[in-house]
Chains A and B, each alone.
Chain A
Amino acid sequence: MIKNMDSSMKKSEVIDLSRCIEGDLVKIVRIRGNSLIRKRLVEMGFLRGRLLKIIKYAPLKDPVEVEIGGSHVSLRVCEAAGIDVEPVY
């Protein structure tokens, strides 16, 4: 509940994916980062407007597992930091 309130306050605020917490549902706004990582992300379907769910962080808090288009993908936190997202409910 607290999480929801927190999210609603941040409405339409763009943050990077690495700042999201487990269970968040977000929409991709933009992919930054170096071309190699961005290319890999884009070809795996990380496109603007797409929904993305943060499944969990690894036990050592890096990498992070997200669900996109029905498949589970793990990203390093530094890679996730290159993805701008906005919260969705």
Chain B
Amino acid sequence: MRPLSFSHTLRQNLKKNVSCEKSTRPFTVALAGNPNCGKTSLFNAITGAHQHVGNWGGVTVEMKEGSVTCNKDEIRVVDLPGTYSLTAFSLEESVARDFIIHEKPDVVVNVIDATNLERNLYLTVQLLELGVRPLLAFNMWDEVRNKQIKINTKLLSELLDVPIVTTIGKNCTNIKNLLDTAVLMAKEGRGKYNRQISEFPAEAAQVIDKLISVPVMNSFGVPAQWLAIKLLENDSEVCSAIKEAEGGAEVLKIADRGRAKIELILGEDAQSIIAEARYGFIAGALRETVRKPVRNRVEISDQIDSFITHPIWAFPVFFLFMWLLFQATFVIGAYPQGLLENGVEFLRESVFHLMPDTVLRSLIIDGIIGGVGGIIVFLPNILILFFGIAIMEDSGYMARAAFITDKVMHKVGLHGKSFIPMLMGMGCNIPAIMAARTLESETDRRKTILLAPLISCSARLPVYVLFAGALFPKHAGNIVFLFQFVFGTLSFFIMAYIFKKTLFKGDEQPFVMELPPYRLPTFRSVLIHMWQRAEHFLKKISGVVLVFSIILWVLSNYPVNSEIEENYNVKIDSVKISTELSSEQKESKIGVLESEMRLEQLKYTGIGRIGMTLEPFFRPLGFKWRESVSLLTGFVAKEVIVSSMGVLYLADNSELDRDQRLKTAITDHFTPLKGFAFMLFVLLYTPCVVALITVIRELKSVKWSIFSVVYQIALAWIVTFAVYQGGKLIGLQ
């Protein structure tokens, strides 16, 4: 009789009694796997809505965590970053590896795309080297059946001595079985994996043996064999850890000599030799267990690709999708946005009527409701954008979009996937910055987040319209177009290029990217993805924004000088009782006095004072205190610049012809050159407070956040200075 497979034995045990015990602490199950192996859909299938983004100190890589109860056992499930390997060359890999080594999960579930066993098992082999006995989830089992691939999982399970469970993540098939097996493995304890795995060529094996024989190699709590392999692979983290240990220098010397010797004799570097041995081991195991049909038909995926990445049609299709995404996000999104705005307005009015006229009411209405309202209006945009992005990612289109745009983006040191954040920035920088999450490598993501705010968002449009209309009436349309679409994009690319040549010099990330077959996204996973982003936005960003809104509200209203109001009230009263003036004259005089009063009050507030203090900073750009104050108020939201200019420049407070009078005031206060410089500054300087907080939250680094603010203000100042002073030099007005 053939021995039963490991997974079978487990199931047998399970039926007996083991699963009924109640454990005292939750088991930890970590999901490891390649990108595109369906790990996320499996994670969603296991945890459903019970998941959140884990909080891992100092880690910028996102790890999701969820929980599930299986036969009264509490299981904590951690979704590790998708990796092809466990060598610490990228942050994702270090994070996944550190979690397995240090957090010691009870069970590591290695999710495997069963249609592509060879490459997926490469990670498995590395887990085995680490002494971990993983539970293999052969995912996408439906595709295996459709493709008529025959896999003898029982035999494979025996050969590898690891349990295998087949699953279909997208419709939750066999999840219970997977969990039962995981719980059973957890209860049996963390079985060390001791079998001989890959067979290395004699030269490499000798070096490994020699390394293992050094006593210090056994003092790290991980298999010495694994350490030796990592040393040969020149893994930076392992090398530096060993270097610090006693006698480590000697070990490194052996490893260095070993690598050189291997390369000399085998004509390949040690890294490739080890990879070949691993792949050789996998090929051996698969030879006996997998039968693939001879492929004689063109797969559907290839057919779709012949159109989607077609030399001529690729870009029209791409722009169509981008147009749809943009329209859905910002045009369709405007309807729920309007509803939310109405709701906020309703709340504001209710509070206005319900509460007595006190400072508290003003704080609630303008500070809190205004602040919250200013945040939640972005929610529809974020939901729709991430709905679209989730569909593009899950279907496999995102990889193709990166494939066709990468050439352009790579020229300035970015990745093909930076295109979407760039494009979305034209609607609003906030969802754009969040969309940078689609980039896998941290460097690419960081660059994209730093650059996204340079794209001119729609909130800057009112400023351009006002200035272009007032100062360049003949070319207003063209000027607005230049600022809204050309200058922002241009500064994005120029700065990207500058970053590539300076800060991120030599920091080139490999593009090597899998183009997964097209798959139909499931509604469930798209919804979960969308909800996660919304939740992140509300939880992580809105709180800070609210605090800032209140601070800004206080600064723009306080301190109050009651003398100003009293003085003006006296003047206004004297106008009212005057007998010499007609009622019309009275009204206009009162209007002038009221706006004078408001101007005086604004000058007295925190924001007014800061603005006036900052005047020397802006003077070289041709700006006076009024411009300085209005730019400062633009920090709340850039369209606020227009309304604060109303207060700053208009001599009369009435609503009559307000737009026209504001334009006239702009013409009085600004020469065309100064106006142009002002528009440039508005385009380039730090975006609104919500965008800024989003940048800080997404960068997750104090250093880079400070850099982000400083470089944008510096850029705005330098460009504006150059244009203004240069323009004056050549005699422009």
Q: Which residues on A are within 8 Å of B, measured CB to CB?
A: 30-31, 35-45, 47-48, 56, 58-63, 65, 69-76, 79
Contact = CB atoms under 8 A, between A and B. Distances in A.
Interface in B407-431: 407-408, 410
A70 to B, nearest CB: 6
Task: Give 5 closest A-B pairs by Cβ, nearest first.
Answer: A60-B407, A72-B515, A43-B85, A37-B510, A62-B407
Given A40-B512, A73-B512, A59 B410 contact: no
Given A43-B85, A58-B406, A71 B511 contact: no
Given A47-B276, A73-B512, 11 more contacts: A37-B512, A40-B84, A44-B84, A47-B275, A48-B276, A59-B311, A63-B407, A70-B116, A71-B516, A74-B399, A74-B402
Q: Majority SS of interface residues in chain A?
A: mixed
B550 interface: no
Contacts of B116: 69-71
Contact of B513 (A42, A48, A73): A73
B87 to A, nearest CB: 7
A40 B309 contact: no
A73 B271 CA distance: 21
29 contacts: A36-B89, A37-B510, A40-B512, A43-B84, A43-B85, A43-B87, A43-B122, A43-B275, A45-B118, A45-B122, A47-B275, A47-B276, A58-B309, A58-B403, A59-B310, A59-B314, A60-B407, A60-B408, A62-B410, A63-B407, A65-B403, A69-B118, A70-B118, A71-B116, A72-B517, A73-B515, A74-B403, A74-B511, A76-B511
B315 interface: yes
Contact of A42 (B271, B312, B407, B517): B271
Given A44-B84, A59-B310, A73 B514 contact: yes
Contact of B512 (A41, A58, A61): A41
B119 interface: yes
A45 B276 CA distance: 8
A39 B87 contact: yes
A52 to B, nearest CB: 13
A84 B486 CA distance: 42
B487 interface: no
B234 interface: yes
Contact of A56 (B115, B279, B309, B514): B309
Nearest to A39: B89
A59 B513 contact: no
Contacts of B272: 31, 38, 42, 47-48
B513 A58 contact: no
Given A39-B271, A69-B119, A45 B279 contact: yes
Contacts of A47: 272, 275-276, 279
Interface in B84-112: 84-85, 87, 89
Contacts of A45: 118-119, 122, 279
Contact of A65 (B85, B309, B310, B410): B309
B268 interface: yes
Interface string B298-313: 0000000000011110
Interface residues of B, number: 40
Contacts of A37: 510, 512
B63 interface: no
B404 interface: yes
Nearest to A37: B510
Interface string B265-290: 00011011001100100000000000
B703 to A, nearest CB: 23
B403 A76 contact: no
A79 B518 CA distance: 25
Contacts of B276: 47-48
A20 B407 CA distance: 18
Interface string B310-336: 111011000000000000000000000
B87 A59 contact: no
A63 to B, nearest CB: 6
A44 B407 CA distance: 22
Interface in B501-555: 509-517
A42 B271 CA distance: 8
A79 B511 contact: yes
B272 to A, nearest CB: 5
B309 A75 contact: no
A65 B87 contact: no
Contact of A35 (B115, B234, B410): B234
- Interface centre among A38, A60, A79, by most chain B C-beta atoms within 10 angstroms, is A60
Nearest to B406: A63
A43 B314 CA distance: 30
Contacts of A39: 85, 87, 89, 271
A44 B84 CA distance: 7
B268 to A, nearest CB: 7
B119 A71 contact: yes
A84 B118 CA distance: 23
Contacts of B399: 74
A36 B90 CA distance: 9
A58 B404 contact: yes
Given A69-B118, A76-B410, A40 B510 contact: yes
A42 B270 CA distance: 11
